[in-house]
Amino acid sequence: ETGVTQSPTHLIKTRGQQVTLRCSSQSGHNTVSWYQQALGQGPQFIFQYYREEENGRGNFPPRFSGLQFPNYSSELNVNALELDDSALYLCASSLVTNTEAFFGQGTRLTVV
């Protein structure tokens, strides 16, 4: 049990809609990173948040946005959903100076 929790576990949305995924980081961790994992592939880095600001971003369009709250929990927002956004979304928490990231169980998003 790593202490990183994500909600919801599964979600079905229609193309064009907007979605918000949530992540509660492990106690004491000040950094949250989000990854997109397509079926049968490795996770791809979306972005990282530290001290409520974006601290690095992968090759994802601006319709992928995030927030980090004072308690270090985080949200991933995706606007104008596309079919290719269907994936497992993983959240990982860590200390900003530490390489060891602890992952949640992910949110499976299906866009129809």
Q: Which residues bind other proteins (CB under 8 A)?
A: 2, 31, 33, 35, 40-45, 48, 50, 55-56, 58, 88, 90, 92, 94, 96-106, 108
Query: Smallest distance, Å, CB 55 to other proteins?
Result: 6
- Name which of 14 and 28 has its Cβ closer to other proteins: 28
Instruction: Look at the alpha carbons of 81, 87, 93, 94 in this order and tell me if their dihedral is positive or negative.
Output: negative
- Name which of 80 and 96 has its Cβ closer to other proteins: 96
What does the CA dihedral 61, 21, 86, 96 come to, rounded to 10 degrees?
60
Query: Smallest distance, Å, CB 6 to other proteins?
Result: 10
- Name which of 18 and 41 has its Cβ closer to other proteins: 41
- In Å, the largest CA–CA distance within the chain is 39
Q: What is the bridge-based pairing of β-strands 44-50 and 10-13?
A: unpaired
- Name which of 25 and 94 has its Cβ closer to other proteins: 94
Query: Smallest distance, Å, CB 88 to other proteins?
Result: 6
